[in-house]
């Protein structure tokens, strides 16, 4: 039984004939008659008595009519609920984000989102890229924010922004007085880096390999906050994303660009290609773009309330993903 067959059946009853029903449903009369016949074959009962130009419901037709109308009413209500729910932002959105992005761009982004969808329910999973890709494919997450490259061919990505990787040094470090750091000189200083599970660590390694840089690594850590603390203690230097530098106004760390072909990473919105793109996911992506522009200074002169970031949003943080780093390394 197909929905259109039920629609045709009700149209015939309400218009009083096959020709008028076909006109109302915008189909040819033979097609409509054929679908009604298929419906009758499925029931094993005639729904109409055909008497020349006149038709009448059979007993089977009279029995089916109220159920057919109820089905169509339920379908219409479902369509209305889905559309109205999306328009009013009453749906759910599950977001994944890498740890090297979460502390620096997430808060402002979801506050923007809440201004558009104050009744939305959003859950956030913070994890490394490999795990986020797996959860996307398993339909556990609707959309994820991470950096390329992505290994899974079933994941499609939309570029959001590209940010430089900058050198963070202690204010008393010799490099603090330089306007920029030559890439070849990076090998002279001890580094503090993230664990290899982070894509940022792999990107920094690739940059060093291409430029024949082999700096001594003093510490590996799971958290960017720990990296910055080591830099503050003048234990080592670190390459950090631009979004981190824009969020850390402290006086004891100096941020310097790398001369020449500077290291960088591209942040994307990723989703599983086998799923329909989420309308609220697209909105959240736009909010992240706006937050990045705000951090970069495009929003200078405007306070955050002018950027529609004041409404409260119910946020659920995945308790497993936000657990201790012994379970899931995070930054």
Which residue ranges make up each domain of the chain? 3-84, 92-156+272-317, 162-264
pLDDT at 323 over 90: no
Helices (H), the chain: 3-15, 18-25, 29-43, 59-87, 102-116, 129-137, 199-210, 224-232, 242-246, 279-296
Question: CB–CB of 165/284 below 8 Å?
Answer: no
DSSP strand pairing (217-221 vs 191-194): parallel
| Rounded Cα–Cα distance for residues 6 and 92 (Å) | 32
pLDDT at 312 over 70: no
Question: CB–CB of 313/110 below 8 Å?
Answer: yes
The reply to whether 3-84 and 162-264 are identical in fold is no
pLDDT at residue 58, rounded to an integer: 94
Q: Specify the range with the lowest mean pLDDT, choosing from 33-47, 60-74, 107-121, 307-321.
A: 307-321
User: Thinking of the domain 3-84, which architecture would CATH place it in?
Assistant: Orthogonal Bundle (1.10)
User: Thinking of the domain 162-264, which architecture would CATH place it in?
Assistant: 3-Layer(aba) Sandwich (3.40)
Provide the percentage of residues in the chain whose pLDDT is more than 90.
Answer: 39
User: Thinking of the domain 92-156+272-317, which architecture would CATH place it in?
Assistant: 3-Layer(aba) Sandwich (3.40)
Model-level pTM greater than 0.95?
Answer: no
């Amino acid at each position: 039984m197909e929905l259109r067959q039920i629609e045709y059946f009700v149209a015939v009853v309400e218009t009083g004939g096959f020709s008028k029903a076909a006109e109302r449903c915008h189909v040819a009369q033979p097609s409509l008659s054929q679908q009604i016949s298929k419906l009758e074959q499925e029931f094993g009962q005639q729904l109409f008595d055909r008497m020349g130009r006149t038709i009448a419901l059979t007993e089977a037709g009279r029995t089916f009519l109220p159920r057919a109308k109820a089905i169509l009413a339920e379908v219409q209500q479902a369509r209305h609920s889905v559309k109205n729910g999306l328009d009013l932002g009453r749906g759910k959105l599950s977001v994944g984000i890498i740890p090297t992005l979460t502390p620096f761009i997430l808060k402002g982004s979801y506050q923007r989102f809440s201004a558009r969808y104050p009744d939305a329910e959003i859950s956030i999973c913070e994890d490394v890229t490999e795990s986020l890709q797996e959860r996307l494919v398993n339909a556990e997450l609707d959309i994820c924010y991470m950096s390329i490259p992505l290994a899974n061919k079933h994941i499609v990505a939309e570029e959001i922004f590209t940010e430089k990787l900058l050198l963070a040094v202690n204010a008393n470090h010799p490099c603090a007085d330089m306007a920029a750091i030559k890439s070849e000189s990076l090998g002279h200083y001890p580094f503090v880096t993230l664990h290899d599970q982070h894509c940022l660590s792999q990107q920094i390694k690739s940059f060093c390999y291409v430029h024949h840089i082999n700096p001594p690594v003093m510490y590996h850590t799971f958290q960017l906050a720990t990296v910055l603390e080591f830099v503050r203690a003048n234990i080592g230097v670190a390459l950090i994303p631009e979004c981190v530098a824009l969020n850390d106004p402290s006086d004891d760390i100096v941020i310097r660009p790398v001369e020449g072909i500077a290291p960088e990473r591209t942040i994307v919105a990723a989703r599983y290609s086998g799923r329909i793109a989420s309308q609220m996911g697209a909105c959240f992506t736009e909010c992240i773009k706006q937050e990045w522009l705000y951090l970069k200074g495009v929003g200078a002169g405007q306070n955050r309330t002018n950027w529609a970031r004041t409404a409260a949003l119910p946020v659920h943080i995945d308790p497993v993903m936000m657990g201790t780093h012994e379970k899931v390394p995070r930054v």
